[in-house]
Amino acid sequence: MNPRRPEMADIVRTHHPDLLARWNHVLSREQRKALCDIRDCRSAALGGRVQQCDRCGHRVILYNSCRNRHCPKCQAQARARWLAQRESELLPVPYFHVVFTLPVQIGRLALQNPRQIYAILFRSASQTLLNAAADPRLLGASIGFLTVLHTWGQNLHLHPHLHCVVPGGGISLDGTRWIGCRKSSFFLPVRLLSHRFRKSFLRSLRHAFRNGTLHFQGELKAREAHLPPSFREGLADVRVAGDVPWKVVWTIRQQNAGTVDHIPGKVHMPRYPDLKACGDVDSLIVIEIAICFGTVCPVVGTRCGPRRSRR
């Protein structure tokens, strides 16, 4: 008989005090609550109920779940309902999967200003898609789309990006007819989207900086006191490998997602909206305070770390 595989809750229960002792000052209220919920999920701390067999009298104690959306054991039914609702809204047209990714420099700002930065991300991506699609030279239609925010990558590092599921067409600007993409394999020019997205995001970021809605702590706060008047020069301090946000390429990926009858979006949508950063199947080895997680290498696309054997 195989030994019981460690779960995320086991790791949190074991190392929760040490984690808070070191990182409590940087954790948000939501993050602390998520840790406590994962720790207490399906344990006596949340109460439970007893089920008894009418024939043999055998009893089983079932503890209550935390129902936190970040818990790897919870919200499966909520995700299934959400997916069913989204599938009912699909149109009989080609779909595209468009991903807007923030540079690493902006990701550092998002750690300390998540509400402001991610609001700008949603707004800028939305304006980019709507304005580009409304351009008569490109599509000339009013489109709709679904967006899902991810703040981490497959390697569990900071990687803010926005997934968009977009139908391949839209309603004409006069509201009289449907206008589809000229090619089922092509939606909008990626370079154009990247340029407009970067311009829109930096404009909003500059406005937020001038209005004082961005707050800096730690190393960034020390730099804030010495920022020059020019926002562009000031943000140049937030750099990686000498690059600044308006010079690096802002990555936008676009791929055909198929049609309503066979759409990989049906595969993407269950995974992306409620996908946890690290689930029970990802925690591989727990040795004292050493924890190893299996991740997917973004370079070669293969899984790092020991594989879980399936029987």
Encode the chain (311 residues) as per-residue pLDDT tens digits.
456 677 888 888 888 899 889 888 878 888 899 999 999 998 889 899 999 999 898 999 988 988 888 888 887 778 788 888 888 888 888 888 899 988 877 777 888 888 899 999 999 999 999 999 999 999 999 999 988 898 887 777 788 899 998 988 999 999 999 998 887 777 888 888 988 998 899 889 888 888 888 877 766 665 554 454 444 444 544 443 344 454 555 777 777 776 555 444 444 444 444 455 555 544 444 444 344 444 444 444 444 444 443 33
CA distance 298 to 221: 32
Q: Residue 49 belongs to what H/E stretch?
A: strand 48-52
Residue 107 lies in a domain: yes
CA distance 47 to 43: 7
Residues 36 and 118 in one domain: no
Cα distances (Å, whole numbers) of residue 143 to 46, 131, 158: 45, 10, 30
Residues 26 and 157 in one domain: no
Residues 153 and 59 in one domain: no
Torsion of CA 149, 273, 4, 13, to 10 degrees: 50
Residues 136 and 261 in one domain: yes
Residues 84 and 134 in one domain: yes
| Lookup: tokens for 34 | 């998520």
Place of tokens 């981490």: 152
Residues 285 and 145 in one domain: no
- The number of domains in the chain is 2
Residues 31 and 69 in one domain: yes
pTM metric for this prediction: 0.73
For residue 63, the enclosing domain spans 8-73+277-304
Residues 267 and 284 in one domain: no
Residues 102 and 224 in one domain: yes
Q: What strands, in cross-sheet order, belong to the sheet with 178-180? A: 141-142, 169-172, 178-180
Residues 21 and 170 in one domain: no
Residues 286 and 221 in one domain: no
- For the chain, give me the number of helices (H) and strands (E)? 9, 13
